[in-house]
Structure 1
């Protein structure tokens, strides 16, 4: 007899078959239309995104959140199918970004289902959405698109798509919204295959990048124009933040100020534009110039604006990054009224647009040191734009409205904006967004006030006189020195080739020591704001009117005393500079003035990190700039590292051997390779190995290698998707702890295991597997001897297959013994483990408790239900013990079990939540054939017995009980 479940299973199989057939048809169509297969170069715009990611300073500045509130009968599964079809159609949405010989490339991966996570709302869900949108991307492995649905009520949801800017721009967002609407409608309507829903194959961004790369030679004439146009240009001299106000802010950390505009102002600005043959945008850009002119007194100004390539038919429907930055240089000298300045801005903008095909990053690279000021600030750090209401994801059958998400990041030091319309129907506003490391709030508010007043004035009268130029604010170092009791007077002298020089006159109170003043400056100000030297004078030279005569200040750069070369670390930095720059620099020479640029900063950091074994990023190079300053930074990090390792050894070593077991304290002579070293498990393993004095080789991607550089740790750069790097990393090791996995790509995990086994030639091998490898055995108590039984999740099946490969290879070809450590949920105060708590299978508990929503427990049909868990430190002790004493088989590394009701109650207590716990009442589950699902983990009804041989290592130590570690995870 055919049952309902049989019918459902047949329908599911038929649906999968149709999807596979559709994928094959779509794939054939793409192959027919696509250009050369395989890796492609990055476009210039993508290259900038990649560099910012590698430099380590972009944070969430290049995340693109696309959120929509939808009301009505929303179907998350249909959205998942539509997103999967969209990602299959546009390769850039499933592209990874690798590196070969220092140069980046892009390569599309196979299409995989796009998971759609559904979580309950927390109040208005604003903080939840911001937190989800700010989660970092991994450009090396992907994905560059993720989806989250926040459930407010049965027919009220917020859909959040977060993408990385490397794969999308504003024009692409409109394409994505349009196509996703069509695909969702088809998915809801029953078109499971979604084949033929959209017309023809889509254009592919890799082809756009190849065309741009091939056309670089023909851009030479346009490049020559820009080099002439920008010759001698300097960055806008923004008023420096007051002492102490900007130093605490991270670069790129933004604040936004707004002021409403009377509705008549916008129409007046449009009328002003018509009178001067200009668009509203050009009028706003001219107002930004006028505001900066008044604030700085500088009349030779370069502002940046965005330019799109989407007016060409071949890129109109292209998903990808098709924008460029235009540097617009305007001479405002003797422009007495706004209308005259507007004419100059219009002409300069039109001229710039004639050469907009030249990538801005190519211009910056060719300008070299001229692309930055003496203080390291970029040439284009001020921008302006007209902002329109964000688009919404218009899904059929639903009422949609856009949701704005402010991630608090800034791509420019200062931005002037005018809202042309607003999604909430409110009045237009003028906005000032600023980087808090570049400006302080009082200065930003003055700029906003001046901008708003000017807009209102020129809307009524284009002949409005330009405001008089103001006086620049004092340098923060000068303000700091003036506040010191031992200093009577202080002044700074700007130099052409580096940081300013400071001059002070003693007050007679206390002792004035130049070295002490510089140390105090370094402790209070950002590195780029610290003067190169502090000189003590009896009195400052004065002009006839009593002002300081800067021309008579002693100690000009040309007369400075010769610098004596430093120690071995400084010599190593100088050598690396020499190799990349082709000449040996002076110890205090400026990186940018020597011809350095962003990619070279990344290369220099990689080289020094590899040679010196100390953490260093490209952003560190760009901020500290001189060999001497970089060497001093590395010296400081060496001291911090030594102190941290000493603390780790003290904290990690037990006072007495557990359960009477003897623990060796002798350092091993062999090196242990640890994969997954930057993850939660890996971090605890590294601590334990350091505590036992065991030398380590840590596998890490190039962009995160600096996180692992410490004494005793050799970094092997590599990736799970790069078999050659895995083989090379394993080849020289005396033992392996393989803790890395993708969680979502079983085929990558299997290939990675094969590669590591190929390189493994001696010593022990410990594989961090999962209790998912047991599948669904028909017993309640599960031991290492319990045979696995289906059905399996894809993740569990991959772990089981990797285990079999390892146990077959153990003991052959000189290899040592192998241990398979089956691991449950791992808990501990680490960022990766914290994210698992908040967004993984337990995330539905956490999000509900944080939002005060009811916590729905899984159906409880009999006895105990919950999940096994282990503390990261206990697991690390067990894994390292298995390296020293291989078991030759499978061991369970379980620290304990937690009941879901107890877990939920503790979450409520720790979060101070008003949530109530509700148990779902359902019929008995079929243990033999449960359907794997996203909440599969919550339905564990089995207890996993830990290995007796590891009881000492797995035993709880102070602070390792589940309540204590849960509290610690919520604090970090």
Structure 2
């Protein structure tokens, strides 16, 4: 019972439930009499999103881009004011997600003082830039404040993109957001206060759902009975994954429909007492049957919890997945299939309050395929006219922004708009390109045919997909031959014995047998994975060229050496699931579920310091398979460390006499990641401070991840007390008071060993001299970011050497460039972003001319992230006892522009003007004497190479 419950409130609740039972209807959630303070539980829908991030799924899957083309006199400042007020009004838009023990929670952050709305000039529609911005991941543990970006195509022609995380918003919420933003924008333009009433808060909805969880038991019983024996449809997965599947994981195909198709489908629905959604869902079942040949199918569709006046104006995630199971046997007419689907959908909607993840947990292993895929792999939808942001005084038009991701393996749907069309979206790892294109064509043909004649039977529907060519080879043999490192492969008929595979590699030093078997396990069902893969120097063949089975190694399966990780994996399974498994016992059959997969991965990652995420557990499923996966990753790490150690940049240096553990903050950021890599190459034991939600992003040889956060001062103090040295590379960038408080807490707990703080040249302010020596006095004005860095340095350096503390180093860095997603943001915003975006779009680039403003040079200092990491680690062995600069070089804006245009193949015209753009008003060179040896560039660390490494992934 909640702490706020009283005997009177409890009595009222019992009376309410008794009345609900008497009325033979499920009880509705009890209203919360007063707003509760502090963290709230996650709703089941939020928990699913949170788990996907923790499992290691793609975060771009759950980005919600909301873009509108605006024509007319647009005011970005008024939008900033409106967006700031919107985020203040709705706590869910400024909520972070943490974990207390095994349970996640949500907690509203303070409302930001102002939300910046960047404006970027582009000559075209800016589609590429919109997609890049929409794909930028959120960090749920840091908050989900929506991001804004405005593209200016002309003086009165703009595109506004707002990007939300799905954990904070759904389709119904977008309508509320659009309406409120329009009203808030109008008030800001008029310079008056808005009159909107205060909205309901999503955390209260979450508390009501959590308090009323007991009512779900009957619904869970229904779903258990309804879905017992159901399996996920077997989609024809590609034999070889596309080379660019990581960059382009999904494909979306639409096919225009005749103008009479949708009216005919509506009329069919009317006659069969069904909506057009139900008719579209029936068509999806028919198309899936023709694709798979299966008669017992499950397709998912979205349901909403938005009911009643209490939900009006609520922003948040109020959706659930309904698994609809339909029997297609008997070759029914399509109209009959519509009736079957209608009845199944109505039955499902009667139990829509039961979260799909709870259904999966109740069903256990039977609800998942051999690769860990959940029961619902295919969904159906009808897409209507999209919401657009209609700001007063402006013409508005919705802009489609795709993130290139698919939430499910396959979605079949309809566009019910002025331009009706069929929709097929699929994951490119689940369906090959040829099948996807054929399915898109056949689905449109099917819709057209049943609109003309609803009495067509399933067997008579047009557009049947071509059957795949017969292949006598075993699937494991086909998969091995598709591997780029395998020249020959053979999997003979086991004839009652164990299934064996034989392979010949293309080169010496290729993948090991364990790695090849791990590869097969990732793409085949467990029953198709060979007991072992034997490597041969050559494949024995007969005179006619066929494989000679008599000369293949035979007999019992060679006894593979016991995995060094199997015992640790088995113990982790035992500790989490409460029973000791055999090597091949299934995780889900043992009672495992999504959250348990996350927990198991975190335990093993912390104990073994090897990369592992929950999705790995769900796909491998058995202790033996998990151990073999860890074996392969340990071998990869050993090879990577050996390669790093042999590089010139990793030459042995003098170390401190006393070996100690180094605490590193900011390991999930660009700088911290390179610091961790450098420490690992030198064999230093490391504690990496990270939020639990981000821990899976940190890993490496000798790295132990511990829980902590800049806003949690107790965790910072505890982390510092447990280390012999500290590298503080974390920063909020936008909340200087948090940065300073964090440094104060860390310095207060620091009692020994060296302390290195990654600071910024912004701490120098705007010096009068163009040549800036190390430790020069700061010159006003300082930005809030620069002032915070200076304040942190003072806290650190004043404490160094006192009460047994070691030496301190404040390493001031400029722009940090390197091949890391966080560092690639330098190419989106600020001075480098201004030049990059203009060159990318072929826009004219105006640079300050030499002598403009009385200064003969304009440009910026920069440092390669690897060089900065070497300098930081060098300070652990030899503290500078003060301030040192870490600068790889200086680049004039003209030279940087030339590099960017060359790498992008841009034809941007470059002009030099006496007027200096605010973002380009930088003219200082910084000396970097103290750390010069560590900063000496290694091969591949020149300006051209690092820019190329940063730009190439953004061009895809």
Q: TM-score, normalised by structure 2?
A: 0.86
Q: Does 1:212 align with 2:209?
A: yes
SS of alignment partner, residue 396 of structure 2? strand
**Alpha-carbon distance between aligned partners in 1 of 2:626 and 2:121, rounded to the nearest angstrom:** 47
Residues 671-695 of structure 1: CA distance to partner in whole angstroms, max 9, x if unpaired?
2212112322223323433444433
**Alpha-carbon distance between aligned partners in 2 of 1:381 and 1:856, rounded to the nearest angstrom:** 51
Of the three residues 427, 435, 439, the one matched with 1:447 is 439
Q: 1:93 to 1:516 in 2, by over 3 A?
A: closer
Match of 1:510 in 2: none
Match of 2:130 in 1: 129
Match of 1:73 in 2: 73
**Alpha-carbon distance between aligned partners in 1 of 2:441 and 2:925, rounded to the nearest angstrom:** 65
Q: Does 1:941 align with 2:948?
A: no
Q: After the TM superposition, which residues 485-496 of structure 1 pair with which residues of structure 2 at under 5 Å, given as runs?
A: none
Match of 1:267 in 2: 263
The answer on whether the counterparts of 2:298 and 2:323 sit within 8 Å (CA) in structure 1 is yes
Of the three residues 595, 603, 621, the one matched with 2:599 is 603
Residues 206-251 of structure 1: CA distance to partner in whole angstroms, max 9, x if unpaired?
111111111101222222222222222222233x224225798459
Quote the offset at 1:308 in angstroms. Answer: 1.3
Match of 1:27 in 2: none
**Alpha-carbon distance between aligned partners in 1 of 2:891 and 2:166, rounded to the nearest angstrom:** 41
Q: 1:527 to 1:456 in 2, by over 3 A?
A: closer
Quote the offset at 1:374 in angstroms. Answer: 4.0
Match of 1:546 in 2: none
Match of 1:894 in 2: 887
Quote the offset at 1:780 in angstroms. Answer: 3.5
Match of 2:89 in 1: 89
Residues 895-947 of structure 1: CA distance to partner in whole angstroms, max 9, x if unpaired?
33222222223322332211122344349xxxxxxxxxxx866322333332x
Residues 440-470 of structure 1: CA distance to partner in whole angstroms, max 9, x if unpaired?
2333334334322322222122222222698
SS of alignment partner, residue 635 of structure 2? helix
Of the three residues 697, 701, 707, the one matched with 1:717 is 707
Residues 393-432 of structure 1: CA distance to partner in whole angstroms, max 9, x if unpaired?
111111111110122211111111111105xxxx311111
Of the three residues 282, 285, 291, the one matched with 2:287 is 291
The answer on whether the counterparts of 1:735 and 1:883 sit within 8 Å (CA) in structure 2 is yes
| Stretch moving more, 580-589 or 768-777 | 768-777
Quote the offset at 1:793 in angstroms. Answer: 1.3
Quote the offset at 1:525 in angstroms. Answer: 7.5
Match of 2:116 in 1: 115
Match of 1:554 in 2: none
| Stretch moving more, 156-165 or 875-884 | 875-884
Q: 1:523 to 1:575 in 2, by over 3 A?
A: closer
The answer on whether the counterparts of 2:650 and 2:682 sit within 8 Å (CA) in structure 1 is no
Quote the offset at 1:79 in angstroms. Answer: 1.2
**Alpha-carbon distance between aligned partners in 1 of 2:808 and 2:387, rounded to the nearest angstrom:** 55
The answer on whether the counterparts of 1:252 and 1:435 sit within 8 Å (CA) in structure 2 is no
Q: After the TM superposition, which residues 625-640 of structure 1 pair with which residues of structure 2 at under 5 Å, given as runs?
A: 625-640=621-636
Of the three residues 642, 653, 670, the one matched with 2:660 is 670
Match of 1:930 in 2: none
**Alpha-carbon distance between aligned partners in 1 of 2:394 and 2:97, rounded to the nearest angstrom:** 36
**Alpha-carbon distance between aligned partners in 2 of 1:504 and 1:766, rounded to the nearest angstrom:** 54
Q: Does 1:104 align with 2:73?
A: no
Of the three residues 812, 831, 842, the one matched with 1:852 is 842
**Alpha-carbon distance between aligned partners in 2 of 1:841 and 1:463, rounded to the nearest angstrom:** 64
Match of 1:783 in 2: 773
Q: Does 1:912 align with 2:874?
A: no
**Alpha-carbon distance between aligned partners in 2 of 1:772 and 1:609, rounded to the nearest angstrom:** 37
Q: 1:381 to 1:957 in 2, by over 3 A?
A: closer
SS of alignment partner, residue 60 of structure 1? helix
SS of alignment partner, residue 60 of structure 2? coil
Q: 1:456 to 1:912 in 2, by over 3 A?
A: closer
Of the three residues 453, 464, 485, the one matched with 1:461 is 453
Match of 1:243 in 2: 239
Q: 1:579 to 1:840 in 2, by over 3 A?
A: farther
**Alpha-carbon distance between aligned partners in 1 of 2:501 and 2:816, rounded to the nearest angstrom:** 60
**Alpha-carbon distance between aligned partners in 2 of 1:78 and 1:486, rounded to the nearest angstrom:** 65
The answer on whether the counterparts of 2:763 and 2:787 sit within 8 Å (CA) in structure 1 is yes
Of the three residues 416, 428, 438, the one matched with 2:430 is 438
Residues 153-189 of structure 1: CA distance to partner in whole angstroms, max 9, x if unpaired?
2221111111110000001111111111111122222
Q: 1:577 to 1:521 in 2, by over 3 A?
A: closer
**Alpha-carbon distance between aligned partners in 2 of 1:966 and 1:567, rounded to the nearest angstrom:** 42
**Alpha-carbon distance between aligned partners in 2 of 1:502 and 1:416, rounded to the nearest angstrom:** 40
SS of alignment partner, residue 932 of structure 2? helix
The answer on whether the counterparts of 1:677 and 1:698 sit within 8 Å (CA) in structure 2 is yes
Quote the offset at 1:358 in angstroms. Answer: 1.5
The answer on whether the counterparts of 1:305 and 1:328 sit within 8 Å (CA) in structure 2 is yes
Residues 589-638 of structure 1: CA distance to partner in whole angstroms, max 9, x if unpaired?
12122221111110000000011111100011111111111111101111
| Stretch moving more, 816-825 or 624-633 | 816-825
CA RMSD in angstroms, aligned pairs only: 3.1
The answer on whether the counterparts of 2:370 and 2:525 sit within 8 Å (CA) in structure 1 is no
Residues 532-558 of structure 1: CA distance to partner in whole angstroms, max 9, x if unpaired?
55499xxxxxxxxxxxxxxxxxxxxxx
Q: 1:884 to 1:504 in 2, by over 3 A?
A: closer
**Alpha-carbon distance between aligned partners in 2 of 1:181 and 1:387, rounded to the nearest angstrom:** 24
| Stretch moving more, 561-570 or 325-334 | 561-570
Q: 1:906 to 1:247 in 2, by over 3 A?
A: closer
**Alpha-carbon distance between aligned partners in 2 of 1:912 and 1:482, rounded to the nearest angstrom:** 40
Residues 730-760 of structure 1: CA distance to partner in whole angstroms, max 9, x if unpaired?
1121111111101111122122212322332
The answer on whether the counterparts of 2:477 and 2:489 sit within 8 Å (CA) in structure 1 is no
Q: 1:276 to 1:743 in 2, by over 3 A?
A: same
Q: After the TM superposition, which residues 45-56 of structure 1 pair with which residues of structure 2 at under 5 Å, given as runs?
A: 45-56=45-56
SS of alignment partner, residue 774 of structure 2? coil
**Alpha-carbon distance between aligned partners in 2 of 1:919 and 1:757, rounded to the nearest angstrom:** 48
Q: After the TM superposition, which residues 589-738 of structure 1 pair with which residues of structure 2 at under 5 Å, given as runs?
A: 589-653=585-649, 663-664=653-654, 668-738=658-728
Q: Does 1:200 align with 2:190?
A: no
Match of 2:399 in 1: 403
Of the three residues 337, 349, 356, the one matched with 1:353 is 349
Q: After the TM superposition, which residues 306-455 of structure 1 pair with which residues of structure 2 at under 5 Å, given as runs?
A: 306-334=302-330, 336-422=332-418, 427-455=419-447
Q: TM-score, normalised by structure 1?
A: 0.85
**Alpha-carbon distance between aligned partners in 2 of 1:95 and 1:482, rounded to the nearest angstrom:** 48
Q: 1:795 to 1:840 in 2, by over 3 A?
A: same
Q: 1:392 to 1:569 in 2, by over 3 A?
A: same
SS of alignment partner, residue 320 of structure 2? strand
Q: 1:435 to 1:954 in 2, by over 3 A?
A: closer
The answer on whether the counterparts of 1:50 and 1:166 sit within 8 Å (CA) in structure 2 is yes
Match of 2:184 in 1: 183
| Stretch moving more, 809-818 or 103-112 | 809-818
The answer on whether the counterparts of 1:185 and 1:396 sit within 8 Å (CA) in structure 2 is yes
The answer on whether the counterparts of 2:491 and 2:499 sit within 8 Å (CA) in structure 1 is no
SS of alignment partner, residue 462 of structure 1? coil
Match of 1:541 in 2: none
The answer on whether the counterparts of 2:474 and 2:491 sit within 8 Å (CA) in structure 1 is no
| Stretch moving more, 952-961 or 213-222 | 952-961
SS of alignment partner, residue 861 of structure 1? helix
| Stretch moving more, 407-416 or 278-287 | 407-416
The answer on whether the counterparts of 2:838 and 2:845 sit within 8 Å (CA) in structure 1 is yes
Residues 846-877 of structure 1: CA distance to partner in whole angstroms, max 9, x if unpaired?
10011110123358301222222222233223
Quote the offset at 1:323 in angstroms. Answer: 0.8
Match of 1:757 in 2: 747
Give the gaps of 5 or more residues in structure 2.
1-31, 482-487, 503-510, 533-555
Q: 1:232 to 1:691 in 2, by over 3 A?
A: closer
SS of alignment partner, residue 711 of structure 1? coil
SS of alignment partner, residue 120 of structure 2? strand
The answer on whether the counterparts of 1:603 and 1:618 sit within 8 Å (CA) in structure 2 is yes
Match of 2:731 in 1: 741
The answer on whether the counterparts of 2:522 and 2:619 sit within 8 Å (CA) in structure 1 is no
**Alpha-carbon distance between aligned partners in 1 of 2:513 and 2:767, rounded to the nearest angstrom:** 70
